[in-house]
Amino acid sequence: MAIDAATAGEALHPVMAFALVGVLGVGAQWIAWKMRLPAIVLMLLAGLAVGPGLGFFDPERDIGPLMAPMISVAVAIILFEGGMTLNLHTLREAALGVRRLVIIGAPVGWLASALALHYVAGLSWASAAVFGGIMIVTGPTVIAPLLRQARLSQRPAQLLQWEAIVNDPIGALAAVLAFEVVLIGAASSTLGHAVWEMLVGTTLATLLGLVAGWLLSEGFRRGRVPEYMKVPVLFAVLLMVFALADDILHESGLLAVTIMGFYIANAGLPSYTELRRFKEHATILLVSGVFILLAASMNLERLSMLNWRSALFIVVVILLVRPFTVLVSLAFTNVPMRERLLVAFTGPRGVVLVAVAGLFSDRLVAAGIDDAAVLTPLAFALVAATVVLHGFSLRPLGRLLGLAGSHIPGVIFVGGSQFSTSFARALREHDVPVLVADANRAKLRSAREEGLPIYVGDILSDGAETSVEFVSYARIVALSDNDAYNTLVATDHAPDFGRENVYQLKRAKHDSRRHSLPATLGGRVICGGLRHPEISQKMTAGWSVRGTPLTKEYKVEQWRADNPESIALAEIEPGKSLRLLAADAELKAGEGALILALSPPKQSDEANEPRGEAQGKRDRDGTAD
């Protein structure tokens, strides 16, 4: 009955409205993951469809006065999450190009965007300054799936990824500062009074954020808060800081919570990982909810604010502002020109841009800046244009510049050994990106001699976060001689890679009830259930990872008959897909696929002759030692 009433122009029940927002937001993100598309595109389409398209959902009508404070709180939590990603340690260890894109690129981008907004889009300086600050953000939630699809080379992918992560809170902070200046300037009678209020408000908000961050950090570090209450306490303090600063310090709550998140990120808390993951989950829900609400709030009147100047502005941003910002930032660095060009013409905007623009748009209009009403539809248009454009152009541009790799996501091998080297080499021969990691350089000797990419260090360390481009890899395989460490690696990376994409060697006493681990720990067992000592014995005896192609005549059944001792490790469809085989997985490879297996040493040609001379030739031609 509620649906029929809504279609007739009556309001949805608020509970139904909240449920609809949740289903649309999370559903769009799930479908986007399934179809390997940027989630923001589907959320935009879903919001516009139920809002201005069908008139089924109108947030102002169906949710009423709760909508504005809901969006304010959601944006505060999103910016707090952004502040928690701004770790100075990771920034110091980042490459020179990343630091230049942050230190030089942020202010240059802010200025160039504000100029384009004023002179091209026709906005006032007040609106241009606020929106120009938000445009520093390139969308970390958007760039990651684009990079996975494009399979870019390591350096340009790292530049794009870290620029998005670090500039996310910086852009929001710049917008907050510009917003404070505009509001105080509009409310003050003299320039001196406006500057004084700005200094006082910014200082108090900063102090409030720092004090709250310090109190939380010390309380967590000294055990004043039990482990199970850390996340609830964090969010309660976050809401209180935002409300207190917003009520007393003239709309400076966003600045206070961003500073608070920044302090906690750099406090070195042992519970930081758990805090970060929970806030990421909360942020996903809030981002999708805010985006659906803002998209559904669009109406023909707001959309009609967009004109030819808006379209020209988007073109100028993509073809002039972004390239100018990147090329100025990376000038006189060792980054090759082709990599500079790829980064320069890749700048997708994301949900944070729309969320913050929507919030500031309404507040600027309330402060008497009428042209700020166009910020929300302009933000939607910019996000849609950049995401669609870069979603279709990033990989072709990368290939044109010689910077795009294989279609197949890569594999990280943790633990250097003859087996991991043989496995990685076989994958690389079929254009699968690989990385062999070990804290002991001596164990990586065979991998170095084969010319394989290596990482000397602990894959769980903070250094790996900045040195290893995890976005280029979709699977991780723990092959060290330490069962506990393999389990730790698989457990730690499962939330990021997906539990179906983390593998490890079988542990000792794996089948014993007294020694079995819960399903939440560890990864899928690989290599047929063999343990490290057994694999080492086979490698010493001359076993190796080899590949055999399947044809219309030579199928899986015949391969099994010809290789009874071999242990299947992976199936590859060249240029298309890779499937690592857990110990309990069934071979599904068909015609044109390649089976990688740990196989005993090949005997003489006469003894190893398969059925038929033609098949013998096929096996020899398709075998990768």
Q: Please tell me the number of Cα atoms within 13 Å of 226 on its side-chain side.
A: 2
By three-state DSSP, how is residue 36 classified?
coil
- pLDDT, position 8: 43
- pLDDT, position 251: 61
| Tokens 């889009």 -> residue | 121
Burial of 185 (0-12, 13-18, 19+ CB in 10 A): middle
User: Of 559, 500, 505, which is closest to residue 532 (Cα–Cα)?
Assistant: 505
- pLDDT above 80 (res 216): yes
- pLDDT above 60 (res 168): yes
- pLDDT, position 480: 92
In which band, very low, low, confident or very high, does the pLDDT at 1 lie, cut at 50, 70 and 90?
very low
pLDDT-above-70 percentage for the chain: 83
* Mean pLDDT across 471-477: 85
Instruction: Show the tokens assigned to 498.
Output: 């997906």
Instruction: Show the tokens assigned to 530.
Output: 């063999």
Decide which of 489 and 617 is more confident: 489
What 363-367 contacts at long range (C-beta under 8 Å, 24+ apart), as own/partner pairs, is: 363/179, 363/183, 363/251, 364/126, 364/127, 364/130, 364/179, 364/182, 367/182, 367/183, 367/186, 367/187
Q: Please tell me the number of Cα atoms within 13 Å of 168 on its side-chain side.
A: 29
- pLDDT, position 7: 43
Q: How far apart are CA 59 and CA 68, in angstroms?
A: 10
* Mean pLDDT across 342-362: 82
- pLDDT above 50 (res 406): yes
Which stretch, 38-47, 210-219, 273-282, 574-583, has highest mean pLDDT?
Answer: 210-219
- pLDDT, position 478: 94
Does the pTM surpass 0.75? The reply is: no
The rounded mean pLDDT for the chain is: 81
- pLDDT, position 461: 83
In which band, very low, low, confident or very high, does the pLDDT at 512 lie, cut at 50, 70 and 90?
low
- pLDDT above 90 (res 116): yes
- pLDDT above 60 (res 607): no
- pLDDT above 60 (res 248): yes
In which band, very low, low, confident or very high, does the pLDDT at 537 lie, cut at 50, 70 and 90?
very high
- pLDDT, position 315: 94
Decide which of 45 and 202 is more confident: 45
| Structural domains of the chain sorted by starting position, each given as residue range(s) with its CATH number in brackets | 16-401 (1.20.1530.20), 410-509+520-599 (3.40.50.720)
* Mean pLDDT across 407-416: 86
